[in-house]
Amino acid sequence: MNPSSLSPVGESVTRIDALEKVTGEAQFADDIQFGPGLLYGRVARSPHPHAQIKGIDVGEALALPGVKAVVTGDDAGGKIGLYLKDRYTFCRDRVRYVGDPVAGVVAASEEIAEQACKLIRVEYEVLEPVLDPLRGAEPDAPVLHPDLGEYEVANFIFPRPGTNISNHFKIRKGDVDAAWPQCDVVVERAFRVPHVQHVPIEPHVAVAQVDRSGQITLWTSSQSPFAQRNLIAESLGISQSQVRVISPYVGGGFGSKAGVSMEALAVVMAQKVPGRPVKMRLTREEEFFCAFVRQGLVAKTQAGATKDGKLLAMKTEYYWDAGAYTEYGVNITRASGYSSTGPYEIPNVWADSYCVYTNHPVGGPMRGFGMPEIHWGIEQIMDLVAEELNMDKVEFRKKNCVREGSIIVTGSKMHPTGLLECIDKAAQAIDWGKDEPASAPHKRRGKGLAIMWKAPAMPPNPGSSAWVRFNEDATLTVGIGGQEIGQGTFTVAAQMAAAVLGVPFEWVRISAPLDTRYSPYEWQTVASRLTWSMGNAIVAAAQDTRRQILELAAEHWGENIDDLDIKDGVVVSYQSEESLPLKDMVVYGLPKPNDQGWRGGPIIGHGKFMPTYVTGLDPETGQGPRSVVHYTTGCQAVDLEVDTETGQITVLRVAAAYDVGKAINPDQVRAQIEGGVVQGLSTALFESIRFGEDGAPQNPSFVDYRIATVVDMPLKIIPLIVEVPQDDGPWGARGVGEHSMVPTAPAIANAVAAALGVRILDMPLTAEKVFLALEEKGERS
C-alpha cells in the first residue's frame, strides 16, 4: 500500500460535516429516556479545608419527604485513584479541602436533595490547614496523609511517607556544580502559576443505575470511560465486567473529564436504591472547586550560559500545589521533571519536582498536563539569559534548541524534529526584528516568542484497539474507544480507515456513543495521543480488513494478491484488469464456479497498538534509554500593545508553528492551534482561582472568574504546520491537541517585557498587575 496515493489523508474535512457523516445518529443525550423513576443526587460538602470527622447524623435528612437514601463514607468502598490510590469516594475520617464530599442524598428532585444535605449534621474537629506548597514541603508542616506509605502506587511514582510529598521526581544529568564556574552568565528567578479551572460549558454530569443483580451502568460525560470502569470497579472490589460506562459526545473537557472526579459519587448513591437511576450534576459553582483544577506551581529556576550563547547548566525546583488528593497530579509532577529543561540541549541539569499535598481542591489533568506551567518559567529564563548576553532571542533559541540526535534531559537521543523550522516560520510571520510603532502615544508595542515541547504523559503501556465491520452496501462502521471532545477524533478516525481501505470517506461511520460493553478498549482520551496511538490501531484494523478482502478476491480470480488493490470501493486487478465492487461481497462472500458453493463471509477486521519501547528511568537520576514515545515541538511568536494608562494588553498577532509529523486533517490542526492559543491567552491574562485564608474559593463563578471572550482574542492568529514524520505514527503523524496552549503565556510575558522593560513573574498578567508594575517603575506615559 502506498499511503501517499490514498487521498483522504491530508484532505481537509470540516468537523460539523464530518460528524454528520460519520456518526449517523443524533446527540445521544437527547435520546436517552430514564423514565419517571429517575432520582437525583446532591452532596453535602466540607466547609473546612482540613478537619477530622467526629460524627455524622443523617436522621433529619432521611426523615425529609422525598428523600430515598443517604450515603456516607462507610458505604463507599475502598480508595480510588489512577496512579496513587489516596482518596475515598466519600470522606471517612478526615476532610482535606473545602468541598470534600462527606455525604450524599438521593431524592425525588434536586431541590429536595439539596434541602436534605443542609439537614445533615457533621461534627468536625478543625485542624491546621496547608495552603501553600512551599509550606507543605517543610518538615514541620501538618501531615495531610499520615497513611501515605500504605497507599497503592504505580511503580514509577515515588512518595515520601511521613511528609506531604506524594511524588519526588529527580533529574541528575552531568555535573551542575562543576558547570556554574564555567558560565559567563547565570540567571535565577522564581515563578508562580495559580490554580485555574477548565470551565467546560457542559458541567460534569453522570447518571448511574444498579440493577438487582448488582450490575452497574454509568452514563457520563467522560474522556475516560474505560479508566472509569476500571477505577470504580477496583474501589468497590468488584469485577470490571459488572461496570458498564456509556459516554456520548463531551461538551468540553480539556482534561477535567479524564479519570474519575464526581462520577463515583453517583455510583455509590445508586447502590442504595437498586433499580432506580440516579442523576448527579455539578452546579457551575461546584465546577470551580469540586472537580479537577489545574495545579498551582512555584518554580525556582537557575540557568547559565557561556558568552558565546551556549547553555551549560540548569537547576530547577518545582513545588506543585497538587491539592488534597494527588492521584493524577503525581504524574504531572513526573512529566514536568522529565521535561524540565524545555526543548533545549543542556549538558548539566539538576531538577527536583515535588508533588505537594495541600488543602486546596484536587489537582488534575488540564490541557498541556503541566507543560504550560513549567514553560512559563523556562521561556522567561531563556529570554533573561539572552538579554544578559545581549543576544537576539531567536538566535539564542536556535543555538540551543533540541534537534535530531540531541541528548535530552533524560539522557536519551531526540528523534527527528522540525523545531528549528517552527522557530523560523513563527518569527518571520510577525516580522521579528522589525520595529513597528504603537497605535497611540500612550501605548507600547513589543514582540516576544517562546518555544515548547510536550510528550504524551502516560504509563509505558497504554493500549488502543479498533475494529472495522462492513454493511451489505459496503458502507462500514469503525469501532474505537477514543472520545470525541470537539477535537475531531471521529473525523480523523474515518479518514484513516477510508485511506487504508480505498473507500470514499463518506462510506465510513464511527460507532458511537462509546460503550465499554461494546466499544474496543482505549486507555483514555488524554495526552494528545489518539491520532498517534488509536490511529495506529485503526490502521491495523483496516489493514486486516483489506487483507481479508484481497485474499478473497485473489482466490476468486486465481491471482496473486500483490497484483490487487482497492480503489473507490472497487477491488481491481492490475494484471487481469478484473474488478469487483465491495458491495455484497464483504458480507455475503463470492460464489464458487458452477454453483459449487460460496467462499468468504462477513468481513471484520481487528487492530491494536501499544508502545513496547518506553523504558523506566533511574529513580535517583531520571536517566534512561527512552522515557517517552515522542515529543511534539513548536514555537509561538507574539506581537502586542500595552496601554500604559490602564495596563491593558492587546494581542495583535500570534504566529504558532508546530511540527505535527503529518497533518492528517490540516483544517483541524489549524483549528486546534487557534483554540490552544486563545485558551493559553486566557490563562496568561485573566484566569486564577483565588482562595481565602480559610481555603475557600473566592471567585467560583463567571462573574468573578474571568475567561477570554471574543473581544479578547488576538486580532490575527497565524497557524503554521511543519511536518517532520514520526517514525511510529500513522503516516508519520503525532498529536497536537494540547501543544498550542503551552508557550502562549510565556510568549506574551516576553512580549510585555520587550514593550515595557517590566518583567512579571507571577501569572496572570492582569491589567491591574501591569499597571502597578509600571507605577513601581515610575513610567506610565
One domain for residues 708 and 681: yes
What is the DSSP track for 178-206?
HHGGG-SEEEEEEEEE--B----SSPPEE
Q: Are 454 and 744 in contact (CB under 8 A)?
A: no
Burial class (CB in 10 A: 0-12, 13-18, 19+), 355: buried
Residue 189 within a domain: no
Predicted local distance difference test score (pLDDT) of residue 35: 86
Rounded to two decimals, the pTM is 0.95
Is the CB of residue 457 less than 8 Å from the CB of residue 373? no
Residue 389 Cα to chain centre, angstroms: 36
Those residues whose C-beta lies under 8 Å from the C-beta of residue 96, and which sit 6 or more positions away, are 49, 50, 144, 324, 325, 357, 359
Q: Which of 383, 324, 315, 325 is nearest to 353 (CA)?
A: 315
Look at residue 779 in the predicted model and tell me its pLDDT: 72
Strand 121-126 to 51-57 pairing: antiparallel
671 in a domain, yes or no?
Answer: yes
Containing structural domain, residue 212 = 35-127+198-287
CATH code, 408: 3.30.365.10
CB 614 within 8 A of CB 625: no
605 shares a domain with 627: no
107 and 226 share one domain: yes
> In which region does residue 520 sit, left (phi positive, over 0), alpha (psi from -120 to 50) or beta (all else)?
beta
Distance CA 374, CA 743 (A): 10
Residue 151 lies in a domain: no
Beta strands in 418-491 (DSSP E): 443-454, 464-470, 476-480
203 in the same domain as 251: yes
- Cell numbers given for 263: 462520577
The whole-number pLDDT of residue 189 equals 98
Which of residues 609, 637, 658 is at a domain's end?
A: 609
Cβ proximity of 144 and 326 under 8 Å: no
Q: Is residue 540 located within the same domain as residue 409?
A: no
* Residue 371 sits in the same domain as residue 472: no
- Same domain for 597 and 630, yes or no, is no
Whole-angstrom distance, CA of residue 774 vs CA of residue 781: 9
Amino acid 416: pLDDT:
98
Residue 33, pLDDT score: 66
- pLDDT value at position 9? 42
Query: For 599-637, what is each residue's pLDDT tens digit?
Result: 999 999 999 999 999 999 999 999 999 999 999 999 999
Strand order in the sheet with 216-220: 67-72, 101-107, 39-45, 278-281, 205-210, 216-220, 243-247, 514-515
Of the candidates 466, 468, 433, 463, the residue with the CA atom closest to the CA atom of residue 447: 433
For residue 146, being part of any structural domain is answered with: no
* Single residue among 230, 259, 287 that ends a domain in this structure: 287
Quick check: is 499 in a domain? yes
Same domain, 747 and 723: yes
CA separation, residue 315 to residues 296, 467, 673 (Å): 20, 47, 31
Q: Which residues contact 495 (CB under 8 A, 6 or more apart)?
A: 8, 9, 11, 13, 505, 664, 665
Together in a domain, 545 and 626? no
**Residue where a domain terminates, one of 265, 287, 309:** 287
Residue 702 DSSP SS3: coil
Contact yes or no for 294/741 (Cβ under 8 A): no
Q: Give residue 340's Cα distance to chain centre.
A: 18
pLDDT digit string, tens, across residues 117-143: 999 999 999 999 999 999 999 999 999
The C-alpha cell 429516556 sits at 33
Residues 6+ apart with CB under 8 A from 36: none
Residue among 528, 541, 553, 520 at smallest CA distance from 476: 541
Tell whether 634 and 721 lie within a shared domain.
yes
Does the bond joining 666 to the residue before it have cis omega, within 30 degrees of 0? no
- For residues 770 and 633, state if they share a domain: yes
581: in domain: yes
Closest CA to 377 of 117, 630, 191, 642: 191
Q: What local confidence, expressed as pLDDT, does residue 780 receive? A: 57
pLDDT digits (tens, 9 = 90+) for 241-284: 999 999 998 999 999 999 999 999 999 999 999 999 999 999 99
Distance CA 359, CA 144 (A): 8
Q: Has residue 134 been placed in a domain?
A: no
Q: Are residues 305 and 372 in the same domain?
A: yes
> What is the spatial distance between Cα 481 and Cα 652, in angstroms, rounded to a whole number?
40
Q: What is the pLDDT of residue 19?
A: 44
- As to burial, measured by CB atoms within 10 angstroms (0-12 exposed, 13-18 middle, 19+ buried), residue 478 is buried
CB-CB neighbours of 562 under 10 Å:
10
In a domain, 12, yes or no: no
Report the Cα–Cα distance between both ends of the chain, in Å, rounded. Answer: 65
Block residue for cell numbers 478516525: 493
Give the chain's domain count: 3
Residues of the chain below pLDDT 70:
1-33, 780-781
